[in-house]
Amino acid sequence: MKLSFIPLGLVEKKQTKVKRGDIASPEQGSRLYELQQEEVVRRFDRADEFFETVIQGEQSPRIMIIGEPGAGKTTILQTIATQLPDGVLPVWVSLADLQDQTLDEYLFGGDWLKLADRTLPREAGEEFKQLFKEGRVCLLLDGVDEMAVAGGRSQLRVIYEQVRGWEAYVRVIMTCRVNVWEAAPLFEKFQVYRNLPLAYPDQVEQYIDNFFRNPALSLQSGEALKQELRSNARVQDTVKNPLCLALLCHAWFSCGGKLPETQAKLYEMFLEAFYKIKQEQFDIGPDQQKALNQALGQLALEALDREQSWYRIDQVTAQKILGHPEQPGSFFYQTLQLGLLNRIGFVAEDPSQECYAFIHPTFQEYLASLSSKIKGWHYFFNHNNENPNGSLGMRPYSV
């Protein structure tokens, strides 16, 4: 049910300064993650072009794929594993599985071989080492940001030290969240590709077709969902994020082929499903979720109450409400780990400050509606009590 390819951009490292006023409405929300277009030196929208040019070329690729949570990094890596040149062995490693082992210990100590095929004879380990020495191996290292690292060390620094030298004779392709990559951009000899939002309607509708092609589902139901999307620009933009698109398809199926009556109910379903998906990685119970939602709602509301730049949040503002981003257990730390809030660059007016955005502006608006500060519909109007029939203006958002 996955897309086989998600748009990629070959990027050059630059310090992105996020300016005010670049988007005016949630219908443009996916552009928050395209504000770094000046970094993209080559864009790949077609799978065949990327695989033929980059993966199946004569040179051994050294690639880092970066992206936000749910942007499709693992999907791309899984597809790459099927597109390697003949004679090259794909070696998949979920870096979270290393625990307290080094990559060398995990690969050659027997754990990887046992997981790959329990029926392999003992001498297979020696054959594997020989393939490695001959450069006939491609290491597919998924989730640098999910590595367990002690002592506050950079996850990227740790994996860099462990694979340094190997990339001279084996292919190395890995995935990493943008914020971890940008905190310590190592691997100078690697090409860096960033996941880009899906194209609507082509890629979004392709995913829907694939999802509802399952025999247990209905192609007609998928066609109805595509028709529904064509009249809803806000949801169209939200589902350019692959994770949000998957959530939408599941919501459509679970609701019997129709969306909830209100967008607030739809995003409530999205948020519940989001927490459920993340439950395997992060143990956040119902009470913690409620507290986190309230903190995020306060932050979302404060940003939306400004005169401009509603959807970009500077670090000072976020830290005042959520705590320190590097303090485990803080709301800020949890939110970044979950991917509900993501780093998108630096504040143009103050380049020393990092800038953040919610996974999509509509999530920001929904979370703002949960804020304890909102007691009723009166909150959304600047009402003049001396002139009951008049209104001084409506707040710049609706939820």
Q: What percent of the chain has pLDDT over 90?
A: 13
Residue 230's CB is within 10 A of a number of other CB atoms, namely: 12
Lowest mean pLDDT among 153-157, 199-203, 343-347, 384-388: 384-388
106 or 32, which is more confident?
106
- Token output for 122: 């003992």
Looking at per-residue confidence, does 149 or 20 come out higher?
A: 149
Residue 397 has what pLDDT?
43
Alpha carbon of 106 to those of 74, 97, 111, 139: distances in Å? 20, 9, 5, 13
Please tell me the predicted confidence (pLDDT) of residue 324: 93
Report pLDDT for 173.
94
- Which range, 51-65, 212-226, 288-302, is most confident? 288-302
Q: Which residue has the tokens 């300016």?
A: 19
Range in 99-113, 184-198, 238-252, 330-344 with the lowest mean pLDDT = 99-113
Nearest Cα to 354, choosing from 329, 332, 369? 332
- Give the mean model confidence (pLDDT) for residues 284-295: 90
Residue 115 has pLDDT above 80, yes or no: no
pTM of the model: 0.69
Q: What does the alpha-carbon distance between residue 124 and residue 139 come to, in Å, rounded to a whole number?
A: 17
> Which pLDDT score, from 0 to 100, does residue 165 have?
77
Cα–Cα distance, 397 to 391 (Å, whole number): 16
pLDDT (average), residues 131-142? 88
Q: What does DSSP say about strands 313-314 and 191-195: parallel, antiparallel, or unpaired? A: unpaired
Tell me the CA distances in angstroms from 285 to 65, 130, 160, 282, 290, one per residue in order.
31, 47, 34, 9, 9
Task: Please give the full DSSP string across 257-322, using - where no structure is assigned.
Answer: SS--SSHHHHHHHHHHHHHHHHTTT----HHHHHHHHHHHHHHHHHHHTSSS-TT-EEHHHHHHHH
